[in-house]
Amino acid sequence: MPIPAFNAQGMLPPTIGDDPTTADRSPYFVTMLDFVRTFATSGERKALLRNLIAYRDLIAADDYQSGIQFLDGSFVENVEATRGRAPKDIDIFSMLHAPQKYLADMSLWQGHGFPFWSSEIADLKKNQERFSLDTYALLIEEAPLGVMLQQVMYWNSLFSHQRETFAWKGFVAVSFDRAQDAEALALIEAM
């Protein structure tokens, strides 16, 4: 499903069309190329997109290969028109599958995997400083079903409303499939 245009309030609509029960709703599952095509509209936005791809590079450096990332915040709003400023960051909630090497050897997870996860992938403060990204992450294999559902519902609920106004809004989901990231980075540079 393509990313819909901003609504009159400068936000992605929470649903597409007039039917409030439609399945055509946020989060809008798109490719990284679609995300870049839609949101690489200024120098500041391009810089944040480069940072997003650098964060994905960091995750992949430890052999993470699949998952999903919810992308939100002022980045997926038309803040230039509604607030007279560029977006300052991208909010990201990543749900990632553990690399096979950690599933096969728990001692490797304990010795290297968990320290990398907690000090790199899930370190909010560090990722704000180096990438201008608000990063939150869940390791799918580590989360009992109830915890995973609670986290998904929490982030869906949080990302579905604008913080200041509590207005309903949409957000985007991008697969953690690195196949398009190099092409997306090239597209950013070409725009």
Domain that holds residue 129: 28-190
Inside any domain, residue 12: no
> Nearest 10 degrees: CA dihedral of 139, 69, 124, 10?
-150
pLDDT by residue (tens digit) across 2-61? 899 999 999 999 988 888 888 888 899 999 999 999 999 999 999 999 999 999 999 999
Inside any domain, residue 38: yes
Query: Predicted confidence band at 191 (pLDDT cuts at 50, 70, 90)?
Result: confident
pLDDT by residue (tens digit) across 89-103? 999 999 999 999 999
Residue 89: both structure tokens together:
């960051």
- Please tell me the total count of domains within the chain: 1
CB distance 155 to 70 below 8 Å: yes
Inside any domain, residue 11: no
pLDDT by residue (tens digit) across 102-116? 999 999 999 999 999
Q: At what angle do helices 32-39 and 181-190 cross, to 10 degrees?
A: 20
Inside any domain, residue 10: no
Confidence (pTM) = 0.94
